[in-house]
Amino acid sequence: MLGNTRRAWLLLLCVVLFAGCSIDSHLQGVVKVEDPFASDDEREFVGLVIHFLALPHGESTLIRLPGGKTMLVDTGSAEDWPVLFGMLSERKLTRLDYVVVTNDQPEQAGGFAFLSDRMPVDTVILPRLIEPSIRRLVPLKGDKKLLPVADGDAIRLDNDVVLDVLHPSEPLFLSPQDNSLVFRLRHGQLRFLFVSAVNEKAEERLLEKHGGQLKAEVLKVADQGRNQASSQPFLTKVDPQVAVILTGRSRNEMKDSQEEVLERLGESWAETYITSQHGTIAILSNGRDYRVVKRKK
């Protein structure tokens, strides 16, 4: 009888210990962290995650908002689509809440037709002033909600994330790149500036109209780092801590057209990342602190 009682207690103890381990394991699986330096797994991070994607030709940035919604800024070129689709699939994305089309140029909008055919998109954000030119080249189907935005608009994307539209404004420039959508994301105390493909003329107007709104911790460098943009007065006003150049070209290929920009970024003390060299660059932000992570994909 005593032996049976002991065995029963041992069995009960094992059940309790096993249940405790299972509970602990389950809790560990759902633990979320708010400190961007506390985990290497982005899935555990509850803040804002920005992926500056390393594509062969064009530009595209994937953003996960703190509430879980997703936004893709530009879609790369048509040639980039297989790579972009692979990156989205790897992150188990089957739909997108927002797609931002900053202009009608192949490097920014060329992949939209492929994306639109293969992945549901809830809302397409585009600049109101150049909406007709975008519509001529980008297939905007009727099943998608369009959100045309204009200089001065502020769109709340999440409880702690606001998109401030800074450009284009009237009168429009002759260069289509200079009419690209420029916006700033505000996440708590941090700011992220996206300048699409604008050149120096558009930068001058931005300095005149929005000089006080240009300062940002992170800058997406204009036009794949070509030297027609990123002027010293503009960089001085933005004063970025981190600058990201989205380009698939190697350092040798970009040497002539981008060396001046790299020099100016160096003089601005910006820590500069180039996707052709460093791969996809991830930024993890909790609205107070941020972390830069280099990814292979």
Cα torsion 62, 139, 200, 206 to 10°: value is -70
Pairwise pLDDT comparison (246 vs 7), residue with the higher score: 246
**Strand, coil or helix: 246:** coil
The residue among 118, 120, 106, 119 whose CA lies nearest residue 76 is: 106
Whole-prediction pTM: 0.87
Tokens (6 digits) for 252: 């040798």
pLDDT tens digits, one per residue of 14-32: 444 444 443 333 334 446 8
- Write the DSSP symbol of residue 27: H
pLDDT of residue 259: 86
pLDDT tens digits, one per residue of 181-202: 999 999 999 999 999 999 999 9
Q: Cα dist. 102→175, 197, 249 in Å? A: 14, 8, 21
Tokens (6 digits) for 296: 């292979």
- Residue 127 to residue 125: CA distance in whole angstroms: 7
The residue among 40, 44, 19, 20 whose CA lies nearest residue 30 is: 44
63-72, 96-105, 142-151, 171-180: lowest mean pLDDT where?
142-151
